[in-house]
Amino acid sequence: MANVTTAQLFEEPFDADEYIERLAWRTPGGGSKGGAEAFDPKKLLEEFVNHIEELKQLDERIQRKVEKLEQQCHREAKEFAHKVQDLQRSNQVAFQHFQELDEHISYVATKVCHLGDQLEGVNTPRQRAVEAQRLMTYFNEFLDGELRSDVFNNPDKIKEAADIIQKLHLIAQELPFDRFSDVKAKIASKYHDLERQLIQEFTAAQRRGEIGRMREVAAVLLHFKGYAHCVDVYIKQCQEAHVKERLDETRNSDVEQYLKNLYDLYTRTTALAAKLSDFNLGSDKHTFLSKLIKNIFSCYLESYIDMERQYLQNRSGMILQRYYDSKNHQKRPVGTGSIQELKERIRQRTNLPLGPSIDTHGETFLSQEVVVNLLQETRHAFERCNKLSDPADLPKNAFSIFLLLVEYLCVDHIDYALEIGLSAIPSADAKNVNLYFLDVVQQANTIFHLFDKQFNDHLMPLISSSPKLTECLHKKKEVIEQMEVKLDTGIDRTLNCMIGQMKHILATEQKKTDFKPEDENNVMIQYTTACSKVCAYVSKQVERVRRSMDGKNVDTVLTELGVRFHRLIHEHLQQFSYSSMGGMLAICDVAEYRRSAKDFRVPLVLQLFDTLHALCNLLVVAPDNLKQVCSGEQLTNLDRNLLHAFVQLRVDYRSARLGRHFS
């Protein structure tokens, strides 16, 4: 127990002060800080003395153990040294035996080599003689004209036959032509026949994927002149197998992927051919490479444009149908010659009320997403056409793709939307209508810019140097003119509707008493309610026109709208009689109309309203000053009947005998 306790006190890491402290704490009455028992120095001293004795005994035991281990170590070291010496002596003896054995083997090998040389010197002439005799036998068969040996008639021995015919072919080259021309021709014929069979066997093995058989046949062909053709066949087969695998699996199931794969493979192949042309492949390397590419892709390129057109038709039709389905719209037949169509044509050109217009609920039936998809598909088609078409057929093929773009984008989408938009325009006398045709115009213009950009960027480079350029430009012009006619018709009818709406506002809001008030001295308004509402309506329509048009079209349409607006106001003002205060109010209205005319930013429109404003002055000017006013700068060039007509609108025309001023 004492030993255990001592061992516990020697726990690592060892510290002498810590060791004494722990020993004191373990001793009853040895603690310095108090505890269960009071401090007892005698007990502590007795414990220290006993512990010192224990440590001395422990040290003696450890020392004896160490001495014993050292003696054992010295003894084992001596024994190991003796064993090592014995092994070294044994190894030296074995090494000497190996040297003796090596010398003996070298001696025997020298004797064997010498014997082999002697045997070879005897056997080689004999083998050559046997081989010569065998070849002479086969040569005699060619000389007789009858190949009786099994080696020439057994397809399984084609390898052996190839070896024989190759050697006979070399021998025949050394024979004089005049005496052996017949046999030389027969050997050459058999030589080329076997060469052809070997190449066919190599091709068949490659198709079956038998690499071992290919290696075996190639080794035989190595000594034939047609070995290079074997390499060509291998390369061609590798290309054809890869191309066939990539294309045939999608040709009937996924035409889009098939066209992408064909374009990708053909592009990569031509790029590879361009790199290969940098190497020394002979003087006619470009023709050689082109021929290889044609052999690989010819069966696919022949039917390319038909598949391209069929895919583009199906894809374009699907894009359009998916769009109309998303709008829950069933396409109406356009240009069918039906009674409804006739009514629509008449209504478009005459504005006669031949039944209600179509309510599209503000839908233009034009989609930039659809247009982008159609143009993207066509762009890919142009890219494939440029790469995959024969140069002689490229303009014709590109034109056929362009016609499909015209059919599906311009006719089936834009033109159809214009037809629907025209059908949705209400008659000019309709009340409180929403005019969406300008939205159709805006989107149609944007779409046609995209169409024109693709025409210039992707089609023109393909046809610019061919007669098809004239056809394409004529077709494009024809399409533009057809759409411009419908756009002009729709814009004209839309302007009529705008004027009709203004006319409705004036008819419902303008009172006769506005210009002949009962109390001339109690007029508190700056302009009439009708004028205010018309000007607000005009301002909105001018802004809509600016948003919907671009370029010179803005000024053209606003000019037409402004002229019609002026004519409406001019005719409207001639429907009333004007008192002195009413004439002043009419001048205020025209001034407000003129302020709206400034929004048009068209000089002609502003000039017309300036003249109208000057005409309205005739309603209030003193009778004696009428001639002077009529001779003013703005009125002097006007028809006297027009001036007289305005003066007749005054309530004092008869009483003041104003007509005499125009007699």
User: How far apart are alpha carbons 545 and 210 in whole angstroms?
Assistant: 76
| pLDDT greater than 90 at residue 492 | yes
List the domain boundaries for the chain: 40-144, 157-297, 330-341+360-502, 514-661
Spatial CA neighbour of 414 closest among 364, 345, 471, 377: 364
Q: With cut-offs at 50, 70 and 90, classify the pLDDT of residue 558.
A: very high
| pLDDT greater than 90 at residue 372 | yes
User: How far apart are alpha carbons 475 and 481 in whole angstroms?
Assistant: 10
Q: With cut-offs at 50, 70 and 90, classify the pLDDT of residue 353.
A: very low
CA angle 344, 346, 350 (to 5 degrees): 125
- The pLDDT score that the predictor gives to residue 658 is 59
Strand partners, 578: 650
Percent of the chain whose pLDDT exceeds 70: 79
| pLDDT greater than 50 at residue 354 | no
Task: Tell me which DSSP letter residue 407 carries.
Answer: I
- Of the listed ranges 215-224, 277-286, 547-556, 567-576, the least confidently predicted one is 277-286
pLDDT mean over 543-548 = 92
- The pLDDT score that the predictor gives to residue 200 is 76
CATH among 3.30.1490, 3.40.50, 1.20.58, 1.10.20 for 514-661: 1.20.58
| pLDDT greater than 60 at residue 660 | no
pLDDT mean over 519-527 = 68
pLDDT tens for each residue of 197-211: 777 777 777 677 778
Which residue in this structure is represented by tokens 């005499």? 660
Structure tokens at 377: 């598909």
| pLDDT greater than 90 at residue 569 | yes
- The pLDDT score that the predictor gives to residue 412 is 93
CB 47 within 8 A of CB 27: yes
pLDDT tens for each residue of 153-183: 776 777 777 777 677 777 776 777 677 777 7
Q: With cut-offs at 50, 70 and 90, classify the pLDDT of residue 414.
A: very high
- The pLDDT score that the predictor gives to residue 474 is 95
- Single-letter amino acid code for the residue at 417: A
- The pLDDT score that the predictor gives to residue 433 is 72
User: Phi then psi for 360, rounded to 5 degrees?
Assistant: -90, 0
- Of the listed ranges 50-59, 221-230, 401-410, 623-632, the least confidently predicted one is 221-230
- Residue 19 contacts by C-beta under 8 Å, 6 or more apart in sequence? 9, 10
Quick check: helix, strand or coil at residue 650?
A: strand
CB count within 10 Å of CB 142 equals: 22
pLDDT tens for each residue of 260-306: 988 888 888 888 877 877 665 555 656 767 777 777 788 888 889 99
Whole-angstrom CA distances from 590 to 122, 273, 500, 606, 613 are: 134, 79, 19, 11, 6
pLDDT tens for each residue of 636-658: 788 888 888 888 888 887 765 65
N- to C-terminal Cα separation, the chain: 156
Where residue 276 falls (left for φ over 0; alpha for ψ -120 to 50; beta otherwise) is alpha
- The pLDDT score that the predictor gives to residue 498 is 93
Whole-number average pLDDT of the chain: 81
- The pLDDT score that the predictor gives to residue 282 is 56
pLDDT tens for each residue of 451-477: 999 999 999 999 998 999 999 999 999
Whole-angstrom CA distances from 476 to 22, 454, 484 are: 110, 12, 12
pLDDT mean over 385-390 = 92
Strand partners, 650: 578
User: How far apart are alpha carbons 441 and 556 in whole angstroms?
Assistant: 14
| pLDDT greater than 60 at residue 341 | no
